[in-house]
Structure 1
Amino acid sequence: MSAVTASQAAGPAEPLGPGASAAALAAAVALPPRAERAARAEEAADRLRTAAVEAVAVTWVDNAGISRVKAVPVSALVHAAEWGVGTAPCFDVFLADDASTTSPFIGGPTGDLRLYPDLDRLVPLAAQPGWAWAPGDRHTQAGGPHPGCQRLFARRMEAAAAARGLSLRAGIEVEWVVALAGPPHEPPQYPTHGPAYGMHRLTDLSDYLRDVLRALGEQGLSVLQIHPEYAPGQFEVSVAPEGPVGAADTSVLVRHTIRAVSAKYGLRTSFAPLVEPDVVGNGGHLHLSLWRDGHNLGHGGSGPHGLTAEAEGFLAGVLRALPELLVLGCSSPAGYLRLVPSHWAGAYQCWGLENREAALRLVTGSTGERAAAANAEVKCFDASANPYLAVGAVVAAGLAGLEQRLALPPEFTGDPAEAEPGTVPRLPQGPAEAIAAYEGSAVLREALGEPLHQAVLAVRRAEAEQYAAVGPEELVAATRWRY
């Protein structure tokens, strides 16, 4: 069911690699002139002082999916914008438990990088008075892009789409479990025991959820919905779509904000794939749509459910690559415990219209809003992923499918777990299968570049080995409070 085929209907193909888009790719990851950075930082620092902000947290996300941070006082923001903040490249081979490994290009005690705050995303933190936040890009001491920088990778992939006249709108759903504060080794004790999706839960924690909404709104984020989810103590928030890099930035900011609001209420949060064994876990579903000249290519075409040939080729490329994409979208070994059939986790490599059991779910939207709302959802991802790697890799896989004029296989309706055995392939059921698929993917290797590709591979192998001999309960306990 998951096989994709070449089609002659997708129109002219364009190269994915350097070629004509080399200049655009280089420009996407280049630092602006130092004087320009300094002038903008001066203006930003003045605004922050007016808002009583005293320090800026500059974050990046490592290959294990953990947000790391360097902070500077507002008085040092101009210098940070001009010269960056020192960070060690070894963070690219850190594991989720803060152990480390090494890779052929990155690892060990030698070397340094410069972390530059992205002033376009600089924002005072509503739930952390006196603090602001900005995502960071990592460059070499000489000023060139660090080949292991995950955010710059996502920028390159967004630029690769733009070089073809394409843009993407993306959003990452954030699911989390809230629990009473306690020691790290303790399992969760929940502040509400209301039913799944129940008003009971919202009533129990209405002040808390209101303050989550308030903080997100004060930070300029447009919340689409917030609601209780299925598992005990679980909630979900969705925000408005934006470009791929912006969506990844927002995903990081939303999680930091939820954690900060929770702390004020004496609560702790987990975005881990599983918080308890044998319970529905936290997803990090990625929604995206493909656009050209202001037109949503997921609507108005002659393909399945109105897909244009370009959108179909793009989605076929994503569907084909799902086994290897799990290495980037389902980072933790615990994530494979979440990919359980018949749990709406997207455990099967198939697609379908509004099919919540398919790993790739097509969403057309309601009649009358489809031109704006049509999108696809990658359901097999979770929040242990580095969001920049996840969105960038999906764009790379989609562009490869578009270039190769792939067509989607027949869609699957219903639960693929009930299909004839062998009819619908399961996605990898453990890290080893996904790693093997990742190693064999020429598309991801080319898109990521060898240093980043190998660093990711080293981290995945190390964590797979780290937890190879432990059972589900120990694996979940070891990861539940790391994300």
Structure 2
Amino acid sequence: MATLADPVPGGRPGDVERATELAAELAGRGVHGIVLAYVDTAGVGRVKTVPTARLADAVAWGVGMSPVFDTFLADDSVVTTDVLGSPDGDLRLFPDLDRLVVLAAQPGWAWAPVDRITQEGERHPGCSRTFLRRTVAEAEGRSGLRFKAAIEIEWSIGLGSAPGGEFVPAVSGPAYGATRQVELSDYTSDLLAALAAQGVEVDQVHPEYAAGQFEVSVGALDPVAAADRSVLVRQTIRAMAGRHGLRVSFAPAVSATGVGNGGHLHLSCLRDGRNLHTGGDGRYGMTAEAESFVAGLLAHLPALTAVTAPSPASYLRLRPSQWAGVFTAWGRETREAALRVVTGTLGRRERDANLEVKPVDLAANPYLALGCAVAAGLDGIDSAAALPEEITGNPARFGAEEAAARGVRRLPTSLTQAVAEFRTDEVLRTALGPVLADAVTAVRLGEAAAVEGFDDARVAAAYRWVY
């Protein structure tokens, strides 16, 4: 479980002593440096590193980094808001010792996610990990709800020897094909070993639909730990690929056409340890609160897309009839619906029942995506929102009149449309707070402006190796 308390200058009680002992243990295991990791508003992983011997100092006083990264774009240019984007100021990165792990695919290194606070010891309002921690803690304090979450990871594996920025699939064979598993069995076997060594519970890893594409599904944790795990797993996938002469892309669209890489969110609500998505009187065993949680997410999906599909390349993936979930619809095990109700197999439903949010890709900052999804679902619970009619099959088959009658809307087809929806959604903006909400808007509009006039192939190329 991730530490849920805010860091403080000088360290929380016992932190420095613990870090001192941990540093000695790590040094004895041949660990020379610690990767301090966070994800910026654009969805790009950023890091600083410290020698292992400096871990206790980092836990006590943090490591400096400019707040300007809150408004970096994926191409490393900078946009501004009224309070962010200036070269002035400093923040402190505080590693979470509860989530520190030795990196099995990067000998000599350990890894830890960070929270960011100001030099005055206050929460940084642009810190997405702090936002998610605050959101889940407030939900538990106000209504007794807890959550479990997991993020699916799809990635495309290319040849490291491919010229320039080109993507050349490193594996042949059909979707889900045995050929792909055989051709990359050494890589995926080493990847599984590395993840196991890092304490990551893997449910499955398999070839996926698109050329050179694989997917890994991991076990559910509390939302903060789930977001941390998503960042860690991607770091491991990339590092292990490099050791095998491969290159990986987590971009929403590696190419201009075809199925892209998703990052579906899985969420379940719990009260007193009981899974509210099963054993109730509602549809498919959902409790009334679970149905309202789904309804809240459904209502906020168009605005949520600005957070869960934050790249211009995201909209090359969000196309009908590609299992990307591009309509405001829900259904049991319906892979074309944006919200897929997963009941689980009889005998395992208390463990497995959850909600899958499909219009999500790995350009999304996982802390922002999970925090906003939880906020949207909580809004549904708070208002006792009614869950509309279930949709089966492909919603793309509906004509305009039938779609309107069923309440089925096409999600935004561009990043600028998603931002327009986000700007009018007071629930999501209030949950994020004005500083972070304005950063989301500024960064998304900056990304859209950066590729204005690009054709689809150029958009895909611009983001292919970024995330």
TM-score by length of 1: 0.93
Judged with a 3 Å threshold, the aligned counterparts in structure 2 of structure 1 residues 400 and 30 are, in CA distance, closer, same or farther, namely farther
Aligned partner of 1:374 in structure 2 is 353
Aligned partner of 1:14 in structure 2 is none
Distance in 2 (CA, whole Å) between partners of 1:33 and 1:81 is: 8
1:198 and 2:177 correspond: yes
Deviation of residue 29 (structure 1)?
3.3
Aligned partner of 1:452 in structure 2 is 436
Q: Is the Cα contact below 8 Å between 1:284 and 1:382 reproduced in 2?
A: yes
**Which has the bigger relative contact order, CA under 8 A and spacing at least 6?**
1
Aligned partner of 1:437 in structure 2 is 421
Distance in 2 (CA, whole Å) between partners of 1:372 and 1:215 is: 26
1:45 and 2:5 correspond: no
Which of 124, 130, 133 aligns to 1:155? It is 133
Which of 68, 83, 93 aligns to 1:90? It is 68
Distance in 2 (CA, whole Å) between partners of 1:305 and 1:132 is: 43
Judged with a 3 Å threshold, the aligned counterparts in structure 2 of structure 1 residues 441 and 418 are, in CA distance, closer, same or farther, namely same
Deviation of residue 420 (structure 1)?
2.4
Aligned partner of 2:203 in structure 1 is 224
Q: Is the Cα contact below 8 Å between 1:185 and 1:477 reproduced in 2?
A: no
Judged with a 3 Å threshold, the aligned counterparts in structure 2 of structure 1 residues 63 and 183 are, in CA distance, closer, same or farther, namely farther
Judged with a 3 Å threshold, the aligned counterparts in structure 2 of structure 1 residues 354 and 32 are, in CA distance, closer, same or farther, namely farther
Aligned partner of 1:23 in structure 2 is none
Aligned partner of 2:116 in structure 1 is 138
4+ residue segments displaced more than 6 Å: none
Deviation of residue 36 (structure 1)?
2.4
Aligned partner of 2:449 in structure 1 is 465
1:278 and 2:257 correspond: yes
User: CA offsets per residue over residues 295-324 of structure 1, 9 Å max, x none?
Assistant: 110011111111101111111111111111
Q: Which runs of 5+ in 2 are unaligned?
A: none
Which of 454, 463, 466 aligns to 1:479? It is 463
Alignment of structure 1 residues 285-300 onto 2, 5 Å: 285-300=264-279
Alignment of structure 1 residues 4-403 onto 2, 5 Å: 28-31=5-8, 34=11, 35-163=13-141, 164-182=143-161, 185-403=164-382
Q: Is the Cα contact below 8 Å between 1:284 and 1:383 reproduced in 2?
A: yes
User: CA offsets per residue over residues 268-309 of structure 1, 9 Å max, x none?
Assistant: 000000001111100000001111111110011111111101
Q: Is the Cα contact below 8 Å between 2:10 and 2:61 reproduced in 1?
A: no
Q: Is the Cα contact below 8 Å between 2:7 and 2:94 reproduced in 1?
A: no
User: CA offsets per residue over residues 338-367 of structure 1, 9 Å max, x none?
Assistant: 011111000111100100000000000111
Same amino acid, percent of matched pairs: 53
User: CA offsets per residue over residues 362-411 of structure 1, 9 Å max, x none?
Assistant: 00011111121110100000000000000000011111110011011001
Q: Is the Cα contact below 8 Å between 1:270 and 1:481 reproduced in 2?
A: yes
Deviation of residue 158 (structure 1)?
1.0
Q: Is the Cα contact below 8 Å between 1:105 and 1:455 reproduced in 2?
A: no
Q: Which runs of 5+ in 1 are unaligned?
A: 1-26
Distance in 2 (CA, whole Å) between partners of 1:97 and 1:195 is: 33
AA partner of residue 391 (structure 1):
L
AA partner of residue 166 (structure 1):
L
Which of 407, 411, 417 aligns to 1:427? It is 411
User: CA offsets per residue over residues 5-57 of structure 1, 9 Å max, x none?
Assistant: xxxxxxxxxxxxxxxxxxxxxx8435386252211211211221121100000
Judged with a 3 Å threshold, the aligned counterparts in structure 2 of structure 1 residues 29 and 438 are, in CA distance, closer, same or farther, namely farther
Q: How many residues align?
A: 457
- Indicate the SS of the match to 2:371: helix
Distance in 2 (CA, whole Å) between partners of 1:405 and 1:161 is: 16
Distance in 1 (CA, whole Å) between partners of 2:297 and 2:10 is: 36
Distance in 1 (CA, whole Å) between partners of 2:70 and 2:9 is: 24
AA partner of residue 125 (structure 1):
L
Distance in 2 (CA, whole Å) between partners of 1:252 and 1:264 is: 19
Judged with a 3 Å threshold, the aligned counterparts in structure 2 of structure 1 residues 84 and 374 are, in CA distance, closer, same or farther, namely same
